Structure 1
Amino acid sequence: MIEQTLTIVALNGHTAHLEAQQKQACEGCNGRCGSQVFSKLFGTEKKTLPYKFDSPVEIGQKITLSLDDSYVVKHAFAVYMLPLFFSLIFALITSELFLLSEGWQILAAIIGGMFGFFIAKTRVKSLKHDIKVIKIHPISIPLTQIDGD
């Protein structure tokens, strides 16, 4: 199980929009790692996850969610392996069956990769996530020290 603690940033009825907090590992390198470089290139806009709760929650409350690991493996297989598989199959078919030149094989591999990408895209949309709420953390009251205590 993969667990993540998220913060409620917006409410829409019983649907809460959750936002993940930055991990400690991401703060350690001060922006010199590959993750930080790519996030600067492609924007730092944080995505929110909508989730419908049965019990009442408030903005600022922290929620711990879990996701089954098998779903991550299924998604990874679909996204990485299907385009590669179809690319190789299309290239082999043009090479062995149609006896076409290398340029046509490359074009067939590109078309096969795009075909695999579109199949992966539809397959990932059809996979269901089994996200479970592990814990709803209570909102803590900030404590301040009073002089003389």
Structure 2
Amino acid sequence: MIEQTLKVVALSGHIAHLEAQQKQACEGCNGRCGSQVFSKLFGSAKKTFPYKFDTPVVVGQKITLSLDDSHVVKHAFTVYMLPLFLSLGFALVAAELLLVTEGWQILAAALGGGIGFLMAKMWVKSFRHDIKVIKIHPISLPLTQIDGD
């Protein structure tokens, strides 16, 4: 199970819009590694995740959700391997069965990769996630010091 703590940023009836807490790419190198350079270059647009709750939640509340690992593997295989297999398959058919020149083989490989990308995009939309609420954290009140305490 993959767990993530999210924060409620907006409410629409029983649907809460959740936003993940921003994490640094790595903590050990103080910004000198490649992953932090890329995160600074490309930025990170914050996206919200809508989720329907049975119990009432409020803006600012933190929620821990979990996702089954098997869904991640299925998504990764579909998104990465399907375009690759179709690209190689189209190139192989163009080279061995159609006996075309190298330029047409490259074009066939690009066509196969594009078709694989479109198929993966359609299939991923149809996948259903098994997301479970692990914990709804209570709202913590800020502590303030009162004179004389």
Provide the TM-score with structure 2 as the length reference. 0.91
Quickly say closer, same or farther: Cα 1:128–1:64, change in 2 above 3 A: same
1:61 paired to 2:58: no
Alpha-carbon offset, residue 52 of structure 1: 0.4
Deviation, 1:116, is 0.3
Identity among equivalent pairs (%): 79
Show CA shifts across 1:67-92 (max 9, x none): 00001001100110000000000000
Indicate the residue corresponding to 1:121 in structure 2: 121
Partner of 2:23: 23
CA distance in 2, matches of 1:16, 1:52: 6
What SS does the corresponding residue of 1:49 show, helix, strand or coil? strand
CA distance in 1, matches of 2:36, 2:106: 34
Which piece of structure 1 moves more, 125-134 or 22-31? Answer: 22-31
Q: Which runs of no fewer than 5 residues in structure 1 stay unpaired?
A: none
Structure 2 CA distance, aligned partners of 1:133 and 1:42?
31
CA 1:33–1:16 in structure 2 vs 1: closer, same or farther (change >3 Å)?
farther
Equivalent residue for 1:137? 137
Moved more, 64-73 or 38-47: 38-47
* CA shift for structure 1 position 14: 0.5
Change (3 A) 1:129 1:33: farther
Cα RMSD (Å) of the superposition?
A: 1.7
Which residues of structure 2 form unaligned runs of 5+? none
- Aligned counterpart, 2:74: 74
- CA change 1:145–1:27 in 2 (3 A) is farther
Give the superposition deviation at 1:32.
Answer: 3.8
Please state how far the C-alpha of 1:145 moved relative to its aligned partner. 2.7
Q: 1:3 to 1:10 in 2, by over 3 A?
A: same
Change (3 A) 1:15 1:26: farther
Residue of structure 1 in register with 2:99 after alignment: 99
Match of 2:7 in 1: 7
Give the drift of 1:24: 5.7
CA contact (8 A) 2:25 2:39 kept: no
Label 1:33 to 1:6 Cα distance change in 2 as closer, same or farther (>3 A): farther
Deviating more after overlay: 59-68 vs 23-32: 23-32
Measure the CA separation in 2 of the matches of 1:130 and 1:44: 26
Give the whole-Å Cα distance in 2 for the aligned partners of 1:30 and 1:144.
Answer: 33
Instruction: Tell me the residue number matched to 1:52.
Output: 52
Query: Is 71-80 or 17-26 further displaced after alignment?
Result: 17-26
In the alignment, which residue of structure 1 is the partner of 2:108? 108
